[in-house]
Structure 1
Amino acid sequence: MHPNDCGEGPAAAFLSWPASLKHLSFDGRYLHAAPPSLDVRTKRETTNADAPIDAKVARQKERRKRRATFLVNVWLYFHPMNVDLFPESMLDKMSGHSASAASSSGQEQVGLSFVHEIPDSASEIKVDPEAPSQTTQNHLWPMGDCGSGETIAIQLPVKETLQKEADFGGNIRVLWKDSSSGLKLEKQKPLGPAWKRARTDG
């Protein structure tokens, strides 16, 4: 999600669902997450639950449902410590690998390029905070495991509005008229003495 530079005025966010060989890059300084509540894709049944199925076939069907996501963090002006290098033996197994590309050292390079662009195929949805409740849904997510006790509250279109794009690994650009109506950072209330006593007595 990215508000404007001053933190006021229109705010926007991109929703992007996975698809085979899809490549997504963004500035990691923007607020980003992969909340399970936004996985609104239609669950497709591939077999008849009442029909007997061979164990080997069942395992094969289950493997087809798996999705592997390769996450790359590109650090600017910072060198992370205690990290393992990606094994060279896996480079030629990545999509986008170019066998003919070589660096000055003669090592093969992964043929990916990074450009700053907004997907042309992204649908655009404007969220009105005064819209009827049946057209929008409020989401509440904890702020990671940082221990801050903060949560993110955000208003998005209902599942049915998002599902068409989600089923095909599409992208949606969500617009709010101002930052405050799109996203709110809330501090959770501290636990009271009664809770502390219950924990101590237990």
Structure 2
Amino acid sequence: MEELTISLALDGHGRTKYTDETEANATKRPKINEDVDCAINYSTRTSKTNIVELSDEVLDNLLFDVEICDCALLPRTFWVNAGDEPRCSLEKLALQVFGEHVPPGVRIDKENSGVEWWVQIRPSPPALMSMSSDQAGRYSMLGCGDDGGDETARSGITWHFDKDEDLRVMMDGSMWVHPHLSTVTYLTSIGAPTMVVEKRVDLSGQILNENSSVCGSVSWPRKGKHLVFDGRFLHAAPTDLLEEGAFDEQCKFDTPIDISEKERKVLMRRHRRVTLLVNIWLNYKPFNVNAFPDTMLDKLSKDMLGDANLFDDSKSCSKTCGKVVVVKDGKGTLACSDHVTQKDETIALTKMSWPMGRDNETIEALMPLELIRNCDEGSDVIIEWKNGLSLSASHA
């Protein structure tokens, strides 16, 4: 058996950190600032981006590129080093995400810091008998996802922790290294919301029970919305937060009789849940995550978005609206602020559960389901469970 030697430097929060040895080995000395934690905001939050300012033509080109990158024959995720020049529109957006959340003065190993990016399309482009495998979406080729066709994998995202997947496999599940930040940028306003729960695991993958209360958030998709959260946190896009049948209705569109096949595909791409996922890794590059293949670049649109930037000062400060619900002793309260008062409104709760991995492990939570479903498009719900949320002690 081949031995694998890994040298990891982790801080007190379990994040990969910059060390004096890193500095000594770097070919280019990075600008020095204080500790990374002092400069990077790890809180869960959402904001509006400039994607909403793009023309229909530019956005359609972006959705076309997403469909190419979702090809089942390509790797699942791709890497761009923090100092690289982008070669396509999606790499350009991924690097803008890095620049937004990692200030220039942060002390990092620039040679081993960057972004792991990928795309998600729900429903995945179908694997039809008449369609070659290089045209089918990843999750269609996998039989609606790794979970053998369950509804969450078909139209949402199952519960998981972002991590160096290949390292975990190579170490037989005993080593979990996470990105510093995980982000979701919504390219359409369709589908299930992203749910983040501030629960994490230790280096061996065992769930940590750090606090009696747990915070979480539910983020509804909206074109141009951007979600960022601590890369160690548990998250998913549970389909049952949607009304039954709502996703299928959202994906429907009228097809004029005289429409061309090209125009029909454009309409189809606009009526899917489409997200760009960007994980920010600092001082560490995940195993076997490489750049988007050079041989596939000519398949993408030539649109580099011009001078468009996801973020500017005004948009970055434009946070999406959210409601705060506190769950305690089986009761939900809509807080007027972060603190519950006697005047705050009581909210109905629904007990929900979702699978966590392969061994019948589950996450159970009392959820303000009615409130979540009645939220305005693109809004957020913040939940603080004083109790009423439980996870399995371990997972696959």
State if a TM-score over 0.5 links the two structures: yes
Instruction: Tell me the CA shift for residue 53 of structure 1.
Output: 6.0
Counterpart in the other structure of 2:24? none
Contact 1:13/1:174 (CA < 8 Å) preserved in 2?
yes
TM, length-normalised to structure 1: 0.60
Counterpart in the other structure of 1:106? none
C-alpha separation in 2, matches of 1:173 and 1:151:
21
Q: Does 1:21 align with 2:224?
A: yes
* Count of paired positions: 163
**SS of the residue aligned with 2:363?**
strand
Q: Does 1:126 align with 2:326?
A: yes
Counterpart AA for 1:155: L
Alpha carbons of structure 1 residues 120 and 66: separation in structure 2 relative to 1, 3 Å: closer
Alpha carbons of structure 1 residues 57 and 162: separation in structure 2 relative to 1, 3 Å: farther
C-alpha separation in 1, matches of 2:380 and 2:245:
16
Alpha carbons of structure 1 residues 66 and 6: separation in structure 2 relative to 1, 3 Å: closer
Counterpart in the other structure of 1:156? 367
C-alpha separation in 2, matches of 1:149 and 1:173:
27
Which of 256, 274, 278 aligns to 1:72? It is 278
Larger Rg: 1
| Fraction of identical pairs, as percent | 30
Contact 2:322/2:382 (CA < 8 Å) preserved in 1?
yes
Q: How does 1:85-164 map to 2 (within 5 A)?
A: 85-86=291-292, 93=303, 99=307, 112=311, 119=319, 121-131=321-331, 135-144=348-357, 147-158=358-369, 160-164=370-374
Q: Summarize deviations over 1:158-192 as a string: whole Å, max 9, x none.
A: 3x211232x5111110122x2xx23212369xxxx
Contact 2:325/2:381 (CA < 8 Å) preserved in 1?
yes
Alpha carbons of structure 1 residues 84 and 127: separation in structure 2 relative to 1, 3 Å: same
C-alpha separation in 2, matches of 1:16 and 1:143:
20
Contact 1:17/1:169 (CA < 8 Å) preserved in 2?
yes
C-alpha separation in 1, matches of 2:377 and 2:291:
33
Counterpart AA for 1:24: L
Alpha carbons of structure 1 residues 161 and 42: separation in structure 2 relative to 1, 3 Å: farther
Q: How does 1:30-49 map to 2 (within 5 A)?
A: 30-40=233-243, 43=246
Instruction: Tell me the CA shift for residue 72 of structure 1.
Output: 0.9
Counterpart AA for 2:230: D
C-alpha separation in 2, matches of 1:138 and 1:55:
48
> Gaps (5+ residues) in structure 1?
101-109, 189-202
C-alpha separation in 2, matches of 1:8 and 1:187:
14
C-alpha separation in 1, matches of 2:286 and 2:350:
38
C-alpha separation in 1, matches of 2:321 and 2:253:
33
Counterpart AA for 1:80: P
TM, length-normalised to structure 2: 0.34
C-alpha separation in 1, matches of 2:331 and 2:256:
48
Which of 170, 181, 189 aligns to 2:379? It is 170
Instruction: Tell me the CA shift for residue 26 of structure 1.
Output: 1.0
Alpha carbons of structure 1 residues 171 and 87: separation in structure 2 relative to 1, 3 Å: farther
Alpha carbons of structure 1 residues 57 and 140: separation in structure 2 relative to 1, 3 Å: farther
Contact 1:153/1:186 (CA < 8 Å) preserved in 2?
no
**SS of the residue aligned with 1:32?**
strand
Q: CA RMSD in A?
A: 4.2
Instruction: Tell me the CA shift for residue 22 of structure 1.
Output: 0.9
